[in-house]
Structure 1
Amino acid sequence: MGNKLKLESGRSPRESEAIMTEMVLPQHTNAIGTVFGGVVMSWVDIAAAICAERHCHRQVVTASVDALSFLAPIKLGWIVTLKSSVNFVWKTSCEVGVKVTAENPRTGESFHTATAYVTMVALDSNGRPTLMPPVLPETDEQKRRHEEAKARRFSRLELKKQNEERQKRSGEQE
């Protein structure tokens, strides 16, 4: 009963944040000994899904990945940490921010290597989108990410609209 009430009234980003740790093994790397971007993308998607599922207590699917920015290479043998947090919730979807850092275990140096914003959609038992509880930011940092997520959503929707118009025009030309 208490959990149901908490879901209806919302959750703090702290309650659903996820931290994943991976070690870079040879199968994760390319010919120059750095992690394939696709491996990082996979890890980001998993971290975002864990976070979103914790938030809504439902299965989720990835709707989009925005602004996956690779900032520095990650090398063989390094330790990768992915921290994910719900930034904003709309009706049936949420934006999850994922920060990727890598640590050289021999020197102890840590590097911010990638950042991504992933939109996850909650599913009901029939596999259809369903409502998500709101996110209730508490700290100044969470409130800042909450506001920035609104602006990113506006940009995503504008880009989607432009792409649909472009597709419609190109379909008319054929």
Structure 2
Amino acid sequence: MPRTKEEFKHINESQVTITQLMLPSHSNFSGKIHGGHILNMMDQIAFACASKHSGNYCVTASVNKVDFLNPIEVGELVTLKASINFTGRTSMVVGLRVESENIRTGEKKHCNSSYFTMVAKDENGKSTSIPGIILTTKSEIRRFARSIKRQEESKNRTSRFSTKVFKTDDYLYLFENSNSKIELK
């Protein structure tokens, strides 16, 4: 089937930024914003960025490493920035950055960064091809290369701990100073 979409797009064509005021309804019992609320916002902006790039509905295939670096307070502005870092045949890695800003002081905090792998779907729910990205800076090349390496490392991690190849004795040293007790039966 011939492609009707552009073969390649510039990264800035699909970048998305959103800013939202954090309300008391978004907070947990300690007055900080729920991590789940932030994850929901991250998923939404990853969807918007990937859909904008691909021209299709997209679904989240995986999320790579979400570290909550700084708490977000009620009353702060939260800004999420999304950009395509990598394109495969039907999938793309969306790089996300979350920052909060204290409205009164202007202080900004980096709250987290994450990578969402999104897959484009056609009207029948089947994975569909997407445009590639045009890399124009060393930073964009670095992000693309990092995504390839992250995928390779993920495959190695998965295979190394597969039940077919995992050897318990090879990993017992890891438990020597851990807060665990092994009682094999």
User: TM-score normalized by structure 1?
Assistant: 0.88
Which residue of the partner structure matches residue 79 of structure 1? Answer: 77
CA-to-aligned-CA distance 1:37-88 (integer Å, 9 cap, x gap): 1111111111111100110100000000001111100000000000000000
Larger gyration radius, structure 1 or structure 2: 2
Match of 2:127 among 117, 126, 129: 129
| Residue identity matched to 1:166 | T
Which residue of the partner structure matches residue 166 of structure 1? Answer: 163
Which residue of the partner structure matches residue 53 of structure 2? Answer: 55
* Unpaired segments ≥5 residues, structure 1: 170-174
The verdict on how the C-alpha distance between 1:167 and 1:78 changes in structure 2, with shifts beyond 3 A counting, is farther
Moved over 6 A (4+): none
Kindly report which structure 2 residues correspond to 1:9-158, keeping only aligned pairs within 5 A, or say none: 10-158=8-156
| Residue identity matched to 1:74 | I
The verdict on how the C-alpha distance between 1:126 and 1:42 changes in structure 2, with shifts beyond 3 A counting, is same
User: TM-score normalized by structure 2?
Assistant: 0.83
Q: How far apart, in 1, do the equivalents of 2:123 and 2:165 lie?
A: 34
The verdict on how the C-alpha distance between 1:168 and 1:45 changes in structure 2, with shifts beyond 3 A counting, is farther
Aligned length: 163
RMSD: 1.6
